Amino acid sequence: MSRIGKLPVSLPNGVSIDVDDSNVISVKGPLGELKQGIDKDIKVEVVNNDIILSRPSESKTHKSLHGLSRALIANMVTGVSEGFKKELELVGVGYRAEAKGQMLEMSLGYSHDIILEVPQEVKVETRTERRSNPIITLTCTDKQLIGHVAAKIRSLRPPEPYKGKGIKFVGEQLRRKAGKSASV
């Protein structure tokens, strides 16, 4: 048995799930609705406010799909009930970020400002305080989408290993390198 796939997903209050004939799962909750299609071989059952997934055989593909499907459903349930949040920190002199609706305008040390359009499902906030680095906060119900947007923002100026300048996740530990040593 898959260690992840065999665990049941419990439904919190206010969250409902619907499985149709083509194995498209829709989860509704207080923060919204998410849909995800899973493989037809994986069987999904709702028993006593728990979602239980089962697979038809012990083949390698069925084992991997079992754990994957359970993780996707658990992420959807968490997303519509609590939501997901990612925070990015801009480290560098003169780096700044400003959110204007769904547009994120950033100054990252290039000769021009970078303007990024964020999808409608993702809510963007920026916070800049004196004597601290600017922080970009992303909130969304879809874990895949928020991770994709955060990775896209981080790829605009990834942190470099010598001074640590760039865009990093809040709380991320960077591996720092020593600079050139003076020759004797």
pLDDT at 2 exceeding the cut of 70:
no
What is the rounded distance in angstroms from the CA atom of residue 48 to the CA atom of residue 51? 8
* DSSP per residue, 128-180: --TTS--EEEEEES-HHHHHHHHHHHHHTSPPPTTT--EEEETTPPPPP---P
Render pLDDT for 138-170 as a digit per residue (tens, 0 to 9): 999 999 999 999 999 999 999 999 998 999 999
Render pLDDT for 15-29 as a digit per residue (tens, 0 to 9): 999 998 888 999 999
Render pLDDT for 26-70 as a digit per residue (tens, 0 to 9): 999 999 999 999 999 999 999 999 999 999 999 999 999 999 999
Please name the helix (run of DSSP H) or strand (run of DSSP E) that holds residue 108, with its range, or none: none
User: Which three-class secondary structure state does DSSP give residue 74?
Assistant: helix
pLDDT at 133 exceeding the cut of 90:
yes
The structural domains of the chain, ordered by start, are 9-81 (3.90.930.12), 84-169 (3.90.930.12)
Q: What is the pTM of this model?
A: 0.89
